[in-house]
Amino acid sequence: MAVCYISGIGFGPSPTFQYSPNRTIPFSSNQITTTLLPRTKALSCFHHATTSVQPTFSFHCKTKTHFPFRPPWPASNKPTTISSAMSSGYVQEDLPPALDSTSDPPPIFDGTTRLYISYTCPYAQRVWITRNCKGLQDKIKLVPIDLKNRPTWYKENVYPPNKVPALEHNNEVKGESLDLIKYIDSHFEGPSLFPDDPAKKQFADELLSYIDSFYKTVTSSFKGEGTEAGIAFDNIETALTKFEDGPFFLGQFSLVDIAYAPFIERFHPFLLDVKKYDITLGRTKLATWIEEMNKNEGYTQTRCDPKELVESYKKRFMAHL
């Protein structure tokens, strides 16, 4: 399972959680239908009981980018997938500075729910997005950690594995991004981000199991000509055609989109800059997915400057190019 260490992104087993082993590609073209819908119908995952919702998601780094999101969702008897707090418009969040080795610790285990993150870690970004999309900005406090100059109290008093993300809740600290996004979705108020439909649940599990293989395939392609990356993104394109009730992996926006977004956010500009390879070329579903994700405030407020991401990846991978 991928985690963030002091030096950045790495891979390693969790000392606390069990993980499902990587599986082979969980979808194929014979499982997929390719009927295209008008966008107003396809984007039916965000709606209100009688009026259009103005959903929000977030992304943040040193440079903040956000886009208003007001799609025309049709009325429906289904439960809304966007919290009521978001429906009236998203309030820009003031982000606290990252804590380093000179910083005092927060009052740990005082009843406050805290999410320990790094502004640059894609795994922490998953949990941050989930918190925002659930409308939990007032319920879960962000505590950013400087991964390059980590405070000693974090390992000693908060989370002995000494990585992010970590969630302090009910006098316990839990870790690992995929576990945490599911935990927050099921243990906190706000719109559900995981489907009830059995077919969608099964496909969600397959996609979440595939994500490590997706990451490794794309990053390993940085050493070669990018053909392996093309196959990986073809698989994403195929997965996005599975359900016709929206532009996201499960039709409606879900934890699956949150799990993949931080990595596609990084791969897209890096491959375009370094390899001159546009992952959206010939992949209309992926292009639409990126477009719709970039309209979500809860996601965009967690985003880093693409130029910063490219430079960071160059430092990590340029020796292999």
Question: Tens of pLDDT along the chain (321 residues)?
Answer: 444 543 333 333 333 333 333 333 344 433 333 333 333 333 333 333 333 333 333 333 433 333 333 333 333 333 334 432 333 345 678 999 999 999 999 999 999 999 999 999 999 999 999 999 999 999 999 999 999 999 999 999 999 999 999 999 999 999 999 999 999 999 999 999 999 999 999 999 999 999 999 999 999 888 765 568 999 999 999 999 999 999 999 999 999 999 999 999 999 999 999 999 999 999 999 999 999 999 999 999 999 999 999 999 999 887 654
CATH 1.20.1050.10 domain residues, the chain: 198-318
CA dihedral 264, 270, 276, 282 (to 10 degrees): 10
SS3 of 8-63: EEEECCCCCCCCCCCCCCCCCHHHCCCCCCCHHHHCCCCCCCCCCCCCCCCCCCCC
- Rg of the chain (C-alpha set): 19
| pLDDT at residue 91, as a whole number | 61
* pLDDT at site 222: 86
**What pLDDT is recorded for position 88?**
33
pLDDT of residue 64: 39
Rounded CA-CA distance 58/130 in Å is 9
CA nearest 108: which of 60, 155, 150?
A: 155
pLDDT for the residue numbered 4: 55
The architecture of the domain spanning 198-318 is: Up-down Bundle (1.20)
C-alpha 258/C-alpha 57 separation (Å) is 10
- Tokens 């994500």 locate to 211
Cα torsion through 69, 70, 73, 75, rounded to 10 = 120
Length of the chain: 321
Instruction: Return the amino acid letter for 25.
Output: I
Q: What pLDDT score does 146 carry?
A: 98
Could you tell me where in the chain the CATH 3.40.30.10 domains are found?
A: 114-187
pLDDT of the residue at 140: 98
Give SS3 for 3.
strand
The architecture (CATH level 2) of 114-187 comes to: 3-Layer(aba) Sandwich (3.40)
Residues in contact with 8: Cβ distance below 8 Å, sequence separation at least 6, in sequence order: 120, 121, 147, 312, 316
